[in-house]
Amino acid sequence: MGATTNEGLEIAKKSREIVREKIKDFINNFNEKEVEIVERVVHATADVEFAKLLVFKNNPIYEGVKAISEKKPIVVDINMVKAGVRYDKVICPIDFKESYVLAKREGITRGKASMRVAKKYIDDGIVVIGNSPTALLEVIRMVKDNEVKPRLVIGVPVGFVKAEESKKELLKLDIPLITCLGPKGGTPVAVAIINGLIAKARGGVV
């Protein structure tokens, strides 16, 4: 999982075995491909609770891997997420000049503004939100208003304000999605999920 040297691979392998043992009571809630993603998230966070919190809806792994194989863009909410994703078409619109201008003009968060700015990439693309609940809520609104039709939304914002609510709203959509219940989430969760799908797409396994 990112390791490229003998010592690194050894640590990753041992960690994976420990994670597998720790989450064994929860794996019946998931199919085989989902379990792999759950393992990656628990590996990345050392937080077993994610095995209880993660939710997969509408065959998101198959759909995500397919979209990645077709080289669709991946739109992310913040630069920390971008830095972690191993893919060459990652769009992080939060620093686009248009996002600053729109946020200031409308008095909204830059995260929210950035999703509106990235509309053409979100339509038929993949969205990965690890932090900004207002960005996720904006994507949800655009889906509801038929402005975009993303191939997959990974929405795992973190925090005690709006994060949980935004994920509940996401779950109501009838599109391929991956999320987690409650206030937990964040950059490592988002990155572990999307890198898991990218690894699958590269391995040719769907």
Question: Among all residues, which ones are annotated catalytic?
Answer: 43
Among 33-41, 44-52, 116-124, 193-201, the segment contacting a second copy (CB under 8 A): 44-52
Residue 47 interacts with a second copy (CB under 8 A)? Answer: yes
Residue 90: HSE in the Cβ half-sphere, 13 Å Cα cutoff? 21
Nearest CA to 75 out of 169, 6, 24, 138 is that of 138
Q: Are 182 and 54 in contact (CB under 8 A)?
A: no
Nearest CA to 156 out of 61, 81, 69, 71 is that of 81
* Residues that contact a second copy, how many (by CB under 8 A): 47
Rounded least distance, CB 66 to a second copy, Å: 26
Pick from 36, 119, 183, 206 the residue near a second copy by CB under 8 A.
183
Rounded least distance, CB 61 to a second copy, Å: 23
Rounded least distance, CB 188 to a second copy, Å: 5
Cα–Cα distance for residue pair 88/185, rounded to 1 Å: 24
Binding mask 73-112 for a second copy (x = CB under 8 A): -----xxx-xxx------------------xx--xxxxxx
Q: In what order do the strands lie in the sheet with 90-91?
A: 54-57, 177-180, 152-155, 126-129, 74-76, 90-91
Nearest CA to 67 out of 153, 137, 170 is that of 153
User: What residues make contact with a second copy under the rule CB under 8 A?
Assistant: 3-8, 11, 14-15, 18-19, 22, 43-47, 78-80, 82-84, 103-104, 107-112, 133-134, 158-163, 182-188, 191
